[in-house]
Amino acid sequence: MINVSLIDYIGEIDGGVAVILSLLLNKEPYEIIYWFNPKNDFRITIEEKFYEHFPDVKDIYDYEYLVDLLFHIDTEVLPKREDIFKEFLV
């Protein structure tokens, strides 16, 4: 079972927007920080206990379902990027 929820907007950082998300995976919650900008650059971090529960994953960028997770976040969890950028990037 996987569920992702938007917790809060951190706001503008380095020309992009950062958000705090909650990932519920196998009934275990993990906090995610997701940053993205208008150039489609992104950074993602997940709390350390994720790596304890998934010892084969050494870096979130190597997580085999990362592309699917990001797609879900961008299309189902967050509002349209244009709307986010209008609100936070001046």
Express each pLDDT in 61-90 by its tens digit: 999 999 999 999 999 999 999 999 999 997
Question: Could you report the per-residue pLDDT of 11-51, keeping only the tens digit for each?
Answer: 999 999 999 999 999 999 999 999 999 999 999 999 999 99
Q: Quote the distance between the C-alpha of residue 56 and its chain's center.
A: 20
pLDDT > 90: percent of the chain: 96
pLDDT(1) > 80: no
Reply yes or no on whether the pLDDT at 56 is more than 90.
yes
Q: How high is the pLDDT of residue 2?
A: 84
Structure confidence at residue 37 (pLDDT): 98
CB 17 within 8 A of CB 35: yes
Residue 27, CA distances (Å) to 42, 50, 66, 75 in order: 27, 12, 18, 22
Please classify residue 34 by burial: count the beta carbons closer than 10 Å to its beta carbon, then call 0-12 exposed, 13-18 middle and 19+ buried.
Answer: buried
d(CA 49, CA 90): 36
